[in-house]
Amino acid sequence: MHETEQEVIEILKRSKIDVVSTLPCEKISTLLRLVATERAFCHVGMNREENGVGVSAGVYLANGKPLMIIQSTGLGNSINAIMSLTVTYKLPLPIIASWRGIYKEKIAAQKPLGKAMPKLLDALDLKYTLIEAPTAIGLIEEVIQDAFANERPHIALISPKAWENEALNEVMCQKDSRSYDLNYKTEFRAPEMRRYEAIEIISEYLNEEAVISNIGVPSKELYAAKDRDLNFYMLGSLGQASPIGLGVALKTRRETIVLDGNGSLLMSNILPVVADKKPVNFTILCLDNGTWGSTGDQPAPYADMDLMARGAGVENTVVVHKAKELRYALERLYDDPGPRFLHVMVKPGNVPSVANINLRAEEIKSRFRAAISYR
């Protein structure tokens, strides 16, 4: 029983995959349960497929071996992240995708994308392998080998036919019990710093930390304030800064800091995943200007980001409005274990004189991977 699924587990173990990000699909529910209980892997249960792309990128940047298991509809959700992050930086990403919409599909909404999936992947020049029978499941090993050998995404599109003779495992994964005692009162004051001023202060306190910087102007500002090999500058993939940082933190003991934004964090909704994985070496600095800062300061949806972090289960949170408050928080940042959430209120507006980052995507990747390995 479950021979096909168990074969996949053995392939992942032989391939030395160490972090597996997943989102559910009923056609592969047994495989997902086996992955979640297999001690050889760090399992990351996601709430958005794009976050798995970011987590996987971070794992590889920290010299780990990631893999994603998702439904084929999730490929549609992840296309921009795959193209602007995985492809742009030449990162390996093997993906096992349950191919919906084709074989005995009963849900009409699955069919349009499912039928078009091979043509869509062809149009994007994304490598894929069709697996339509249990006897071909061994091709997953070749998918993994190719992804890492050529530093690219490679998708195993697996028909439900490959699993249909396998009985479902009815054992459910149990969650730890949790209790909350939240008496929350806060006061938002007018911020005194711009984002660049905050980044300059943060840069003064950087030593051996790995830093992931949000897309666009924030990365340019960090590059201008303090360029380091341990800085990973995002050139695209809005919403993926904290997922990348989470992936890095899961694969290294080095303290890992993300310079994220309010809009990016709202888009990714990664905070519940961070709270679930509880990386003790992980800090998110949310530079909150209340706008979409890199695109002209259009107003972003309002949210109390500190309260969102607490509600997600992140226990160590701080809110600062002034430079002296930021310095105080940074000086005591490591007094308590992570995950930590530092909500930094800043004024809207970019520094007009900040230059572009004079590094290619592959250079950013290569020097970061080399630096994070050296202690």
| d(C-alpha 358, C-alpha 243), whole Å | 24
- Which 8-state DSSP code applies to residue 183? -
CA distances from 87 to 53, 90, 115, 294 (A): 11, 5, 24, 22
pLDDT score at 83: 97
The model's pTM is 0.94
- Which 8-state DSSP code applies to residue 213? E
pLDDT score at 199: 97
pLDDT score at 301: 79
Domains and CATH numbers, the chain: 3-162 (3.40.50.970), 195-373 (3.40.50.970)
The answer to whether residues 328 and 304 touch, using CB atoms and an 8 Å cutoff, is no
Give the chain's radius of gyration (CA, Å). 21
Describe the crossing of helices 217-225 and 195-204 by its angle, rounded to 10 degrees.
40
pLDDT score at 165: 66
Describe the crossing of helices 49-61 and 361-373 by its angle, rounded to 10 degrees.
60
Residue carrying the six token digits 């226990």: 315
Mean pLDDT by runs of 10 across the 375 residues of the chain is: 90 97 94 94 95 98 98 95 98 97 92 95 98 96 98 97 66 59 75 93 97 94 96 94 98 97 92 97 94 74 90 95 97 97 92 88 97 81
pLDDT score at 316: 96
pLDDT score at 101: 93
pLDDT score at 290: 77
